[in-house]
Chain A
């Protein structure tokens, strides 16, 4: 059962290993990610960032143990995913129209459609003129703005963002980072990004991965930021 009481650690990883055929992608990784933290997850291509995120989302089988909100994301997947907002690296080519998407998200999450519409509009996208367009026909930036709105609008306890700003124009990027800055301080945010400088003001902890291991894990204090 998921732990209902107040817990500081939202994600706990112990001896996590993941390999594809013979290639080890996550190598005996142990870490805990806590409430209120804004974590940058960095590392070169193939370091294991996306694999770790997919393990947290319950999409991969793995060795070791992984607990998200006190539960196993593969077993209690539906319950745990209610508390996770996710923006993928590559927007999926969804065939549903924006109208259907709003309806679908609203049904699944219990949020009003207007929450998502307001959020996406604050990112500079007026979707009312695109309601009958299939999602895959939108531009890269428009897709990204919608996915961000759907992730943030759910007010999740955990926000997983895999290269979320890659397709955004500078203005939308600024608004997006402001939104993240003001986002629920009790939530845990994990941002996988190559552009550390862009998120440096936002983050409170820096985790760097290489060859499936955490090679740097440091808390960023106000003093560090000033430097």
Chain B
């Protein structure tokens, strides 16, 4: 399985690196970091955070908005697109296992999406070091972990939908609706819902914490605002239930489990049903 999977994954990556979409995506994150330096965000301050920490927090918050929908839309065509275009019929007439094909797609997408965004973050750290700005390596390591978790989570979910979808149109519509639902259940809207319907606060926070988007949002805040004061009363519940350290670990592990779980289910479905 490995030989076919590695050959196909590297081929997929080479094709991605040639695409305009990949370079536009890389340029977006690269220029975003450059612009933040240019506009002096490292000089500004938020709850005592200045310098590169401030830049990294802003970078992660913007990433959280852009990345999930980008991952979902770009990954969801991986399997169903090949199926519709007869590429899969041909590729799977070659000595490649079904699992090898499916996981080659998964890992190629993971690398294609993770590398540019990670390099942008790394570039910020290197540029900061060159410019004699203190580099918060602990924050850098944590945010890198969060990026891995975010990419695995949404690539996995998109692969699952791609394996099950009957057409590309259906696949894209599904991920778009999913993304809207996840955005709808972010804390701001949940708080409004709680006030309006007098819903049980525990239920509201539970809904928030199963939403990977909310987990990323809270986790991004958790390092620069350890008491999560910007979240209001919800922070007491979270930090009373679990310690900050546990929450930080949860924020990385939970999305990874969701991503791999969804990808495994998609792979299982793919192997057990008609391929084309």
Contact = CB atoms under 8 A, between A and B. Distances in A.
A61 B4 CA distance: 22
Interface in A109-156: 109, 147
Given A78-B1, A95-B15, A109 B95 contact: yes
B202 interface: no
Given A92-B85, A107-B7, 14 more contacts: A54-B276, A58-B92, A61-B274, A78-B95, A92-B90, A93-B85, A94-B87, A94-B90, A96-B14, A100-B11, A108-B4, A109-B94, A147-B90, A160-B93
Interface range, B side: 20 to 34
A92 B89 contact: yes
A77 interface: yes
Contacts of B90: 86, 88, 92, 94, 147
Interface in B1-58: 1, 3-4, 7-8, 11, 14-15, 18
A93 B84 CA distance: 11
Interface in B72-98: 85-87, 89-98
A60 B95 contact: no
Interface bracket on A: 20 to 34
Contacts of A107: 3, 7
Contacts of A105: 94
A77 B11 CA distance: 21
A32 interface: no
Interface string B213-235: 00000000000000000000000
Given A92-B86, A93-B85, A94-B87, A61 B272 contact: yes
Contacts, number: 78
A66 B172 CA distance: 36
10 A-B pairs with the lowest CB-CB distances in the bound complex, closest first: A86-B93, A59-B275, A78-B97, A92-B90, A92-B87, A82-B95, A81-B95, A92-B86, A95-B15, A107-B7
Interface of A: 54, 57-61, 77-79, 81-82, 84, 86, 88, 90, 92-96, 100, 104-105, 107-109, 147, 160
Nearest to B100: A78
A40 B269 CA distance: 34
A58 B273 CA distance: 11
A96 B11 contact: yes
Contacts of A95: 15, 18
A92 B85 CA distance: 7
B98 A88 contact: no
B275 A88 contact: no
Contact of B11 (A54, A82, A90, A104): A104
Centre residue among B4, B90, B272, B274 by max chain A CB count within 10 A: B90
Contacts of B4: 78, 108
A93 B83 CA distance: 11
27 contacts: A54-B89, A54-B276, A58-B92, A59-B92, A59-B276, A60-B274, A61-B273, A77-B97, A78-B4, A78-B100, A79-B95, A81-B95, A81-B96, A82-B95, A84-B93, A88-B93, A93-B86, A96-B11, A96-B15, A100-B14, A100-B15, A104-B8, A104-B11, A105-B94, A108-B94, A109-B95, A147-B90
Given A60-B275, A61-B273, A95-B15, A108 B85 contact: no
